[in-house]
Amino acid sequence: MAKRKNQELHDRMVHGLLEYLEHNGFADIEADVVDYDAPSKICWEDTTEGHIPDATAVKDGVAYIFEVETADSIAITDTARQWKLFDEYARRCGKAFVVAVPLGCAGEAREQLDRLDIGAALWEIEIP
């Protein structure tokens, strides 16, 4: 997991994302927070090294991988590694990768995604 200054804020954002998913037709929701089944660890090909995404879900036959970032975690090295892994896995397996950031952080996140050549969808979410 990326090191961030405010884990509580991150967890609140994950819960906000989960509430959105539950109210907008997503199914099979898993999340790396209390009271949910955790998503499976995604590993680099031919290795056991990897990361657990913040959430996964399915809608209209499409499987989604969600990674939530706070303002202080967007540009750190561990985040870039996670994004590259999840993007590679999503492309290889026909899934959608979504990065969720707080309102006002989309510009910085988009710049980082573009710099890393990652084609993830970018969602801005309100912090509950």
Domain range summary for the chain, segments of one domain joined by +: 7-125
Q: Please, are residues 54 and 68 in contact by the beta-carbon 8 Å criterion? A: yes
| Residue 86, CB-side half-sphere exposure with 13 Å CA sphere | 31
pLDDT digits (tens, 9 = 90+) for 86-115: 999 999 999 999 999 999 999 999 999 999
Q: Supply φ then ψ for residue 52, to 5 degrees.
A: -95, 125
pLDDT digits (tens, 9 = 90+) for 32-72: 998 999 999 999 988 889 999 999 999 999 999 999 999 99
Q: In terms of CATH architecture, what is 7-125?
A: 3-Layer(aba) Sandwich (3.40)
**For residue 35, what are its two tokens?**
């009271």
Cα 90 to Cα 98: distance, rounded to the nearest angstrom: 10
Residues in CB range of 127: below 8 A, 6 or more apart: 9, 12, 13, 16, 102, 103
Name the pTM for this structure. 0.93
